[in-house]
Amino acid sequence: MVYQKELIQAVGETILSYHTIIDKHGRYKFFGHAIRNLSGYNLDDLQGANVKDYIHTEDVPTVFNQLSNLAFGKTDILLPFRFRVSDGSYRWVESSVTNMVNNKHVNGYLVSSKDITDLIEGINRSKIINSSYSNFFAKHPFGVIHVTMDGTVDMINPKLTEDLGYHLLHIASRPLTDFFLPKYRRKIFHAFHKARKRGVSETFDVQVYTLANTSLYVNLTIIPVTHQNETTELYLVVKDISDRVDLQENLRKLSIVADKTTNGVVILDKEGNIEWVNNGFTQMSGYDLHEARGRDISKLLKSGISEELRKEMRKQLNNGQSFTKEVLCQKKDGARYWILVEVTPVLDKNNKLERRISIHTDITTRKAAETDLKSLADDLHKRNRELYQFSYVVSHNLRKPVANIMGITNLLESEKDDPQTVEVCTRNLKTSIESLDEVIKDLSQILSATDGSTELSVESIDLNEMISNIQTSLKDMIGHSGTHIETHFELPVVVSYKAYMYSILYNLVSNAIKYRSGQPPIIKILVNISDDAVYIVVSDNGLGIDLDKHAGDIFKPYRRFNFSTDGKGLGLFLVKSHVDAMNGKIGINSSPGVGTTFDIMLPAVSYKQDRSAKDLSGSEKRGVLVG
């Protein structure tokens, strides 16, 4: 780009740095320094380039149409167009163009441009804001009135017409205060004054006349719009609250009645937060209105209602259906109590859930009676089962020695003169009587284990000492069989029912030795302790039991599954009876030729004495209470 002195003289000082020159085809001939700085391009970028390549494609027809219609020597302002700068973005440009195509020194269009991007974007934002404002005004869920500073109402939205019946002509032709009941007009006048003079907004509940000449409760909010600390316009938001007022009046009447009932009555919002409680609720839970208001009722009463149940209740209430449930709650003092909760939904005029009314009936006594009845039924079932077992023992075990005695006495009566017969009968009679005595002792043991008549006493138990005593009692069996007993106790001391614990471990150990395989018995006793129970595992490597055949008879009296050694079949029956007496559970896992494992769980019991277990020397030991 080489320029003669004549060109500079022709264009003059106006070119300087803010002008460009393009030929009639749109190719650049000159590009000022300031324009280069603004666009980011240098001379090499634009040399021989066409301005069409930099103007947005949508704007090219408009720009070149204006250029083609511009007469020689005339100047015109082009419509704003978008120009692509060096970073690839577009800027809005306003250009002044002078046609100097026929000037032999210029031979093109002299263009002066300025960046108006901020101006254009501001205008666009203003359009968006105005459009959004119009939509907001028209679609606002409450009635809206626009008031100018001279008190003229120039706009109302459709919702106001829907609620009150008025159109703009009705309101614009009368003073605004005329539409409110007289007792509110002074308050409204002062609120208008504060909004106009001080820019202070205010909201309150009032009654307004409708077009049908009825009155309607509304919430009125006066909103001043200020600019540079001066109020320029006012908006009135009018919300129909007639449903709320009617509901409040109904709830007021309900509260008068509810406060006289002994049932708990709670009024809650739609989310389950307490708004009002009656005296019956306070008497039942310990919480008064001041303590309960605003609290989530489930959290206040620690009812532990699951999220799934909450969803089900909300679904029913939203459908206008009542919800009933028995719930275990906690009083203010920590005591637990049962209530029957009956929740009734309160719907608005659009059938949307607005509030809940919850009626609480204390059913603690009834639940306790149900628990007692269930316990009684369970105990009766247990007794019936034991009676069946007892009848089995009587019919099978007691009948045999009695029959023998009867037969011997008959024989003695007929052969009383035969000394040899008398001697044999006497010897057999003694044997039968001893057998009868054994059966009676067994029956006594069975009854004492199952009838609950034995008074249970809780005491400290040293497990190591108890196992040592068992080993002493079974010394001959252990020595003869080569038995090895392994123990692992998480804690050496527990607090439980000593007699039962001893019987359980004694019978399991003696059974493991008695029904051993060909190898020396290895008996493992593990005791693990949690916060609320003790878990006992006793395992052996003995003969094992075929559970597929005998699972149903394992813990029944006089059931034996191997006759290679002496036994009565009472050991496991007594173990199960003692575990049941302590409200525990016992399970078995066994395989023939492999061995048997018993798993026992004994729950904690209530123990009002000092829980710290002590040994005989008085030193403290760690212990857990079980049973």
Q: Specify the CATH number for the domain of residue 583.
A: 3.30.565.10
Return the pLDDT at 132.
58
**Which helix (H) or strand (E) element contains residue 131?**
helix 117-139
127 in a structural domain: no
Are 400 and 477 within one domain?
no
Chain mean pLDDT for the chain: 80
Report yes or no: 97 and 78 within 8 Å, Cβ to Cβ.
yes
What pLDDT, on the 0 to 100 scale, is given for residue 484? 92
- 150 CB-contact burial (10 Å; exposed 0-12 / middle 13-18 / buried 19+): exposed
Q: Are 150 and 232 in contact (CB under 8 A)?
A: no
pLDDT band with cut points at 50, 70 and 90 for residue 209: very high
What integer pLDDT is reported at residue 583 of this predicted model?
83
Q: Is the pLDDT of residue 222 over 70?
A: yes
The mean per-residue pLDDT over the stretch 280-295 comes to: 91
For the cut 70, the answer to whether the pLDDT of residue 615 exceeds it is no
Beta bridge partners of 227: 230
pLDDT band at 438; cut points 50, 70, 90: low
Task: Return the residue matching tokens 């009542």.
Answer: 322
Residue at a domain's end among 213, 240, 267: 240
| Any domain includes 222 | yes
Quick one: pLDDT band at residue 541, thresholds 50, 70, 90?
A: very high
For the segment 123-151, what is each residue's pLDDT rounded down to a tens digit? 676 666 556 566 767 788 899 988 888 77
Q: Is residue 172 located within the same domain as residue 230?
A: yes
Sign of the CA dihedral with 459 first, then 461, 465, and 469 last: positive
Would you say residue 377 has pLDDT above 90?
no
Q: How many domains does the chain have?
A: 5
Whether residue 129 is contained in a domain is answered as: no
pTM equals 0.39
pLDDT for 183 equals 92
Range of lowest pLDDT (313-317, 470-474, 595-599): 470-474
Same domain for 582 and 551: yes
Same domain, 236 and 248: no
| pLDDT at 611 (0 to 100) | 35
Q: Is residue 15 part of a domain?
A: yes
Those residues with Cβ within 8 angstroms of residue 336's Cβ, 6 or more apart along the chain or in another chain: 328, 329, 330
Euclidean distance between CA atoms 20 and 245, whole angstroms: 73
Pairing relationship of beta strands 323-330 and 336-347 according to DSSP bridges = antiparallel
- Residue 591: inside a domain: yes
Mean pLDDT of all residues in 542-557: 81
Select from 313, 362, 358, 366 the least CA-distant residue to 340: 362
Specify whether 514 is located in the same domain as 438.
no
Domain that holds residue 205: 140-240
Structure tokens at 333: 């003092």
What does the pLDDT read at residue 105? 80
Residue 56's pLDDT band, with cuts at 50, 70 and 90, is very high
> Greater confidence, 455 or 578?
578
The CATH number for 304's domain is 3.30.450.20
- Which pLDDT belongs to residue 623? 34
Asked whether residue 331 carries a pLDDT value surpassing 90, the answer given is: yes
Please give the pLDDT value at position 259: 62
Residue type, 348: D
In which band, very low, low, confident or very high, does the pLDDT at 342 lie, cut at 50, 70 and 90? very high
With a pLDDT cut of 90, the percent of the chain lying above it is 17
**Which of 70, 94, 122 is the endpoint of a domain?**
122
- pLDDT of 94 reads 87
Answer whether residue 392 is part of any domain: yes
Q: Do 473 and 441 share a domain, yes or no?
A: no
Q: What is the pLDDT of residues 15-31, one digit of tens each?
A: 555 678 888 888 888 77
DSSP state, residue 141: S
pLDDT category, 620, cuts 50, 70, 90? very low
- Same domain assignment for residues 33 and 108: yes
Residues 347, 494 share a domain:
no
The sign of the CA dihedral 592, 593, 594, 597 is: positive
Across the range 172-183, mean pLDDT stands at 85
Q: Name the domain boundary from 240, 255, 280.
A: 240
Confidence band, pLDDT 50/70/90 cuts, at residue 606? very low
Which range has the worst mean pLDDT, 100-109, 343-352, 452-461, 509-518? 452-461
Whether 133 is covered by a domain: the verdict is: no
Question: Are residues 478 and 616 located together in one domain of the fold?
Answer: yes
One domain, residues 476 and 605: yes
The region that residue 286 occupies, defined by phi over 0 for left and psi between -120 and 50 for alpha, beta otherwise, is left
Residue 467 in 3-state DSSP? helix
613 plus 475 within the same structural domain: yes
- Nearest Cα to 514, choosing from 480, 488, 485? 480
Of 209-213, 248-252, 528-532, the poorest mean pLDDT is in 248-252
Asked if residue 394 has pLDDT above 60, the reply is no
220 and 286 fall within a common domain: no
Residue 131 lies in a domain: no
Confidence of residue 447 (pLDDT cuts 50, 70, 90): low
